[in-house]
Amino acid sequence: MRINNRAKLIVSAGLLSGFLLLTGCGQSSNKTPAGGPTEVAVVTIQPQQVVITTELTGRTSANLVAEVRPQVGGIIQKRLFTEGADVKAGQVLFKIDPAHFQAIHDNAKAALGRSEANLSAIRLRADRMRELVADKAVSQQEYDDAAAALKQNQADIQFWKATVETASINLKYSSVTAPISGRIGRSSVTEGALVTASQPLALATIQRMDPMYVDVTQSTTELMNLRRRLEDGSLNHNVKVRNKVRVLMEDNTKYPWEGVLQFRDVTVDPTTGSVILRVVVPNPKGVLLPGMFVRAELEEGINEKALLVPQQAVTRDPKGNPLMLTVDAQGKVQQREITVDRAIGDKWLVSSGLAPGERVIVEGIQKVKPGASVKVVPFVENAGKTGGADKPAAPHAKAN
């Protein structure tokens, strides 16, 4: 029994040794010969022209807003508009009971007529007194009284003319009209409501929504960086380009009409450290509504010599500083610390640490170290999808 067990153990050990020997031979046959350079894919950096844009957030507002308030008090007799409809300037919106104002107007007009009727008689009496006082037929006092009566009557006529004008204005104000053309909102009063002159509650609000304002905020840091880039020449100052603004809706779709930057505010908000930028955007179909949250892409300028590298070519050290590997003329790997400005599509815009014509490793970064010799092949972007060569850089740059 012991001899049979020992024989079985010897046979099993022999089989295991043979299997390990065969396995080791198979693995060694699949290994790459030692000493050969590692193959990496590189892209040669060339300067290109890129339009630099900044994406800012903001809200829309109507370019004209008018709150409709009564200028005289009374009872609302009629409401003469449809809520949410478009109204024209001068269109009657509310009718206030005009009876009281009509009576005041008629009374002032009658008083004016009475004063005008007495004018001729008082003027003739004053003229006669002037002739008689010259002949000393009447006293100077009597003439002075007649002249004063004439002046008083003339003053009364001017007073009642002004009163008639005021009554006419108040009578006109009993019809509340639209001060501007635009879209009117809901009414805050109904027929039969009592309103007062210049009351704090508006009867309705009219907003003109074509064009619309888009008010976005920009930090003073971004504003100073933009000025610095314009001054040192890294951005080309082009007013026509910089004034163009594209609007992105809340659902991330592009608004079909392009806006224009109207102005930058001159006052910094002390609570946020930012300034307001106002953009004017056409709104012929009423897509934009007041108070909507949107994003605006503002074109800052043109970078004539932008250096763009694929994002997968950039790594970071433990401190977060961006790094990349390049291949020099001798085929050696060199590590570079760079400064990135912003993302442009799937690429980084490099502001320092990289020169035109350098070869940057895009694929194979994990297999090499600085100082190693490598075999260089061109990097093919999206090779698995299209099989084509590098695509041109995106024409517009978005700030992170």
Between the CA of residue 344 and those of 63, 182, 340, 347, what are the distances in Å? 33, 40, 11, 5
Is pLDDT larger for residue 82 or for residue 134? 82
Name the percent of the chain lying above pLDDT 70: 81
C-alpha span between 10 and 16 (Å, rounded):
10
Q: Is residue 92 domain-shared with residue 120, that is, in the same domain?
A: no
C-alpha span between 236 and 243 (Å, rounded):
13
Q: Is residue 308 domain-shared with residue 393, that is, in the same domain?
A: yes
Q: What is the mean pLDDT of residues 130-153?
A: 83
Q: Is residue 258 domain-shared with residue 310, that is, in the same domain?
A: no
The domain spanning residue 283 has which CATH number?
2.40.30.170
Where does 31-139 have alpha helices with state H? Answer: 99-134
Q: What is the mean pLDDT of residues 350-367?
A: 86
- Mean pLDDT for the chain? 79
Q: Is residue 197 domain-shared with residue 75, that is, in the same domain?
A: yes
C-alpha span between 337 and 169 (Å, rounded):
77
| Range among 14-28, 108-122, 225-239, 296-310 with highest mean pLDDT value | 108-122
Q: Is residue 25 part of a domain?
A: no
The domain spanning residue 359 has which CATH number?
2.40.420.20
Whether omega before 211 lies within 30 degrees of 0, making that bond cis, reads yes
Q: Is residue 104 domain-shared with residue 226, that is, in the same domain?
A: no
C-alpha span between 398 and 382 (Å, rounded):
22
Q: Is residue 75 domain-shared with residue 193, that is, in the same domain?
A: yes
pLDDT over threshold 70, residue 321: yes
Between the CA of residue 118 and those of 149, 156, 160, what are the distances in Å? 10, 10, 14
Q: Is residue 221 part of a domain?
A: yes
Q: Among candidates 80, 84, 105, 112, which has minimal Cα distance to 93? A: 80
For residue 191, the 8-state DSSP code is T
Whether residue 257 contacts residue 263, with contact meaning beta carbons closer than 8 Å, is answered with no
Q: Is residue 384 part of a domain?
A: yes
Q: Is residue 31 part of a domain?
A: no
Q: Which domain holds residue 92?
A: 71-96+175-201
Q: Is residue 228 domain-shared with residue 253, that is, in the same domain?
A: yes
C-alpha span between 61 and 290 (Å, rounded):
4
C-alpha span between 337 and 325 (Å, rounded):
9
pLDDT over threshold 80, residue 213: yes
> Which tens digits make up the pLDDT trace of 322-332?
888 888 888 88
The domain spanning residue 82 has which CATH number?
2.40.50.100
Whether residue 213 contacts residue 227, with contact meaning beta carbons closer than 8 Å, is answered with no
Q: Is residue 180 domain-shared with residue 80, that is, in the same domain?
A: yes
Q: Is residue 5 part of a domain?
A: no
pLDDT of residue 31: 38
- Please name the residues in contact with 252: beta carbons below 8 A apart, sequence gap of 6 or more: none
329 in helix, strand or coil?
Answer: coil
pLDDT band at residue 3 under the 50/70/90 scheme? very low
Q: Is residue 165 domain-shared with residue 113, that is, in the same domain?
A: yes
The domain spanning residue 110 has which CATH number?
1.10.287.470
Q: Is residue 79 domain-shared with residue 117, that is, in the same domain?
A: no
Q: Is residue 219 domain-shared with residue 229, that is, in the same domain?
A: yes
Domain count, the chain: 4
Which of 271, 303, 335 is the endpoint of a domain? 303
Q: Is residue 296 domain-shared with residue 310, that is, in the same domain?
A: no
Q: Is residue 1 part of a domain?
A: no
Helix (H) or strand (E) holding 59: strand 48-68
pLDDT over threshold 50, residue 167: yes
Whether residue 336 contacts residue 323, with contact meaning beta carbons closer than 8 Å, is answered with yes
Helix (H) or strand (E) holding 43: strand 38-44
DSSP strand pairing (48-68 vs 396-397): parallel
Q: Is residue 280 part of a domain?
A: yes
> Which tens digits make up the pLDDT trace of 149-164?
889 988 989 999 999 9
Q: Is residue 206 part of a domain?
A: no
Instruction: Put the strands of the sheet holding 194-195 in their side by side order.
Output: 175-177, 92-96, 74-79, 194-195
CA 306 to chain centroid, in Å, comes to: 27
